Structure 1
């Protein structure tokens, strides 16, 4: 973009695990925290060139295949935190969300589309938490 003199927008995919940590997910949490750090630094580097850089950090997005895998993995490796029954695990995880529901893929997509749009033309260096109030 810089080379061509064009403005633009980048949205990186982070996670609430990178913001608040997550049990049994140290490497994943660290990698997503790094994405957030990269986003903040790149936003400062690229803003003078008219390039906006933001990130989204979803949590508890489902139901769907990824959610099912996450719940099953937590039931296996995170039994000391959530128990071993996938339905119980899902209920306990959703219990951490003040809005008391799953987020949807559509809600994540809408957030990304906003950050990419001209409506967000003065937004850069933001990590948008899409987590129903969970932290």
Structure 2
């Protein structure tokens, strides 16, 4: 499993270097780091968008009702994730920019079957680059 996580981190670093540019239409530049820390929420892109659109008073309930779940292959790879989880100063590998408000990262996430590296969407504002 560590070998798979190392491969994901290497791919993320290469992808970040290739995507760290300001677009011609004036969108904010991609994060210019490969490793960061996230404090906030992360999960499937749809779940994160729904969570962000949820009124403040219902956010805790949304997280409780939609826990992150992933299919785990025999090789220990997580895929087909749904739902959302909270992250507290979790070290992540910055993978790709989804749009100006969200990015994809690889984070170690606690699932029913153990802790696995998972590709998840997170709000861009919740990621702090590490040097």
Normalising by structure 1, report the TM-score: 0.28
Normalising by structure 2, report the TM-score: 0.28
Select the structure that is richer in strand.
2
User: Which protein has the larger Cα radius of gyration, Structure 1 or Structure 2?
Assistant: 1
